[in-house]
Structure 1
Amino acid sequence: MPIVQLDEHLIDQIAAGEVVERPASVVKELVENAIDAGATRIEIATAGGGKTLLRVTDDGCGIDESELALAVRRHCTSKLSGGLEEIATLGFRGEALPSIGSIARLSIRSRAAGAGAAYEIAVDHGHCDGPRPTALSRGTVVEVRDLFQKVPARLKFLKSDRAESTAITDVVKRLALAEPEIRFEISGQDRTTTVFPAARDMGERIAQILGEEFSQNAAEITAEREDVRLSGLAGLPTFSRGNSLQQFLFVNGRPVRDKMLVSALRGGYADVMAKDRHPVAVLFLTLDPAFVDVNVHPAKADVRFRDPGLVRGLIVGALRQTFAEAGLRSSSEGAAGILARMRAKADLVTPAPRRFDGFAPGGYAANAHAAPRETGNGHGAYEPAASPFRPLASAAEAAEMERRPAPVSTGSSHAETRFAGFDEPGTAYSAETIEGAAPAGVTSAPADDFPLGAARAQLHGNYIVAETESGLVIVDQHAAHERLVYEALKEAIHGRALASQMLLIPEIVDLTAEDAERLAEHAEGLAALGLHIERFGPAAIAVRETPAILGQGDIAKLVRDLSDELAEFGTSDTVKSRIDHIAATIACHGSVRSGRVLKLDEMNALLRQMEKTPSASQCNHGRPTFIELGLADIEKMFGRR
């Protein structure tokens, strides 16, 4: 088959396949152009999930009449005056508008700043018409209709209108997070209107998009290393989601979905989050444009860093340090879940009529011998003389009640309320026995002296109830002790060079020459973890010693995983992560088990150690170690507020 020159229209359609994947891709390109134009208000209108209509209106600087025709031609842009090494705008390729015009009906109305009139140009599936005068006060209006109507191969792969509308909203949210000073509005026949007003700062914009709940359950990130700055908010490990849709990553203000950054985010949450959960985070990386390449893919969602190891190390280290310094912070989701379940149970209960007039003048107290009246619930009316629950007659009786020990239940069919500080299974709870259960100074300490308060009881052999100044805390003793043991093991293991086990016969692992070279460069760091390797020819590695704690494992697989990690991220965390996994397993099996009864001093000692241990708010598997209930919430449940 002979080589022929492709038709210009076909070339544009091929290029459009890389730039325009779905309606959300069109919105992304058009909104980025509006941001680059200096807009302060951007409105997006859609119909049919963006397949029928997409309209983006902005109040930016506009396009001059003489430049409208160039704007819809390929490789024409005003944003590369500094070359590819100094890209300071979101758009720069000069492909978006011509690509959209080749697969849809495109119209652009614009009035340049200071111009006396506005002009319009139309592109119908590659055929250009205009420019011609039109009516517009300022800025630019771009309309895209009948997207992919003449490209059925792409149209049939689009999702439902609802799914496409959701994707458009997600794109606008990401761009709005990067530009808090701009007002965004999304409207249309296929959606309810959503407005993100201009925010005073980034914190306000994050609250607008992710909600106040995220702001209350997030830690502020601020870190810098070698002119690379990281900032933003990272959700607490216990504030997680079932997917990664709530992860917003930005590089120099550009929303990206780079796999290296996502991997670094996961690495920062290692040891504190369950494997099937995903963190919620909004992170901004700022660095010299010369050190990052954004011209990797036409969609500009991927980036390449000159030093990926530096960037990854900054993100992982900043997240781990932030969580370690955050102290004991429990996600509000746990308390909210408890309150919601309690309210749901309360709604199922039909309360008795609130009628109590026994002590009122002229009430039943004055007619104690009269026949009781029937109430609507079938019970007799209250008679204070006959009731065992009556007000104290005098101050002397009140004092006598205070001195009287609490009753001990012996024959009830219900489980007895036991105090956790006794070894005898039949010992019942009483005020007298509490005083002797703990050493001096433990129970007498006020609850507000410690963040986790003072232990008061143990429930079901696993949950410690502690009183704090502002409410109460419920602690999972097994999860909490598991974290304490794990952190102690990690400190002992990584605080010195790990013991290694010499192989009787060195393991030879065949690799590519590039992988062998990369591993050889990291041999010194791996030796500190107990893995001793050396070059064995041009394309092989000889493993002479392995970390003793790993035992008998697949050495070849370990080495190949290391080489893959070094090739992709420039780091060698595989060995450390496997050692940490073993330490986590030891901690899990060696921690205090559920069902073990603890004395009061043991419970308080556990609480005090939690307050001094990093990441003690969640266990090694990502489960919360404690839930805090505020006194205000408890009072609301009982109608006191």
Structure 2
Amino acid sequence: MGSGTIVEVSDLFQNQPARLSFQRRPVTEMAKIVDIVMQHALSHPNVAFSLTNSGRIVFDVPSVSEYDDRLFDVLGTQASGLIPLSVPSEDENAPGDERWTGWISSPDITRGKGDEVHLFINQRPIASQPFQGAIRRGYKTRLMQGRHPIAILSLKIPPHEVDVNVHPTKRDVRLKHSWRVLERLERAIAHTLHSVATAPDSNASSLGIESIKETKTETETETYKKPSWAITATQQLTLSGDSARSLEPEKKRPISSSPAIQKTIFGGKPIAPALSSDERDIHRYSGIESERPDSEKPLSEIINELPEMEPLAQLADSYILVQSGEELLIVDQHALHERIRYERLKEDQNQWKPQSRISSISIELNPKEMSQLQAVSSTIKSFGFDFDIDSQSMIIHSAPAILTTSSIEDFMRDLLQDLSEDNQRALSMEKIKDEMAFMRACRGAVKANDKLSIAEMRRLLEDMRCIPNPWACVHGRPTAMRLTIHSLDHHFGRHG
């Protein structure tokens, strides 16, 4: 055995016993220790690391000459979905000596939190939070809101351009040219993703939420952000290929262009913030197969004060025109069906019963995830999962019926992150139900551009009277707009 460094710690709290009261359970503290060792293992591939706990080997990786080998040793099969970071040509000879290298995941491999983003400056592990914005900008619209990639990113920079003494933990740093460093990271990620095929795999996303954006038939050209030093003062920066295209509406919809008339009918302010491009795609392409409203079990009890409503027609295969007493409702069919499905999924007890799988699902875990699982295994079993643990894997035999087989792995990784974070919020079964129903509601709802029969429209309106909050979808967007007979009379001058 080669010579090395042995660190032995004994009587840890002898001189400062007050610190003991801040310690969590041994399994929780062990998970944090594993995370620290993993960080150093990723930043020093030429060094072997071995971690044991109570005589059991928790983490053991040999020294390697190729970084690919260290990735597989630490991350396991997750490493196969990583893409080497590629730097655009204009950055090769750009001003400054900072250089980014590393690996990033394709957009279909994501996590619910940013814990799997590992950042190193001159081989020193640092906190990733200050760099998350640049990473997200590099991914642009490829990442769903609230999702985070897996990344191992290393910055080599002259030591005099980085100050590591701004925080006692040495995890936070101050960079002399932070704007330039962040720009280069953003461009490198955008360039890398632009250079490879990154179409999401519909079977790989958590609860199907990332698979709902269907691949568009036309070819879209996307450019990555050019460096600020290469842009003249009069040149406009192009962030996306979409901005260069002339956008024509699919159908010309005649409507009065008078601002006064539009303000009379629709009001002076929008009733909700505009949808982002991601959210528009979610609503337009939500779900690979939509469930027809008339094929679902009806919601029996009327619980709100909505009167009976009669569908009149469907506008642009996206909106339902409805007569309700002396009001005209314009209903967003996707938003309403999404809200109905959300309430139905939450209340349907059969969706939450454990369902045995035809064949067990094996999930390979890295050492950090395995430590987290051992710390919270009883909690996860209380959520309806039955599983065994072997040396490196979690073998799931049954899971709540609402989870599809393809979504279990990503959901479990997100759940492990939620249950292991510091000052974690209490994850009750009710909270888990709410989150799973939220994800599934959008996937199966009818989409914009889906043609509905009068019977299907009528069924949606009947169910609308049986849900507690019929006026907003699960994202908080409005499901309907109301036009009163008074506003119409006023518009057409029927009041003298």
RCO greater where, 1 or 2, for CA within 8 Å and sep 6 or more? 2
TM-score of the aligned structures, taking structure 2 as reference length: 0.43
Q: Larger Rg: 1 or 2? A: 1
TM-score of the aligned structures, taking structure 1 as reference length: 0.34
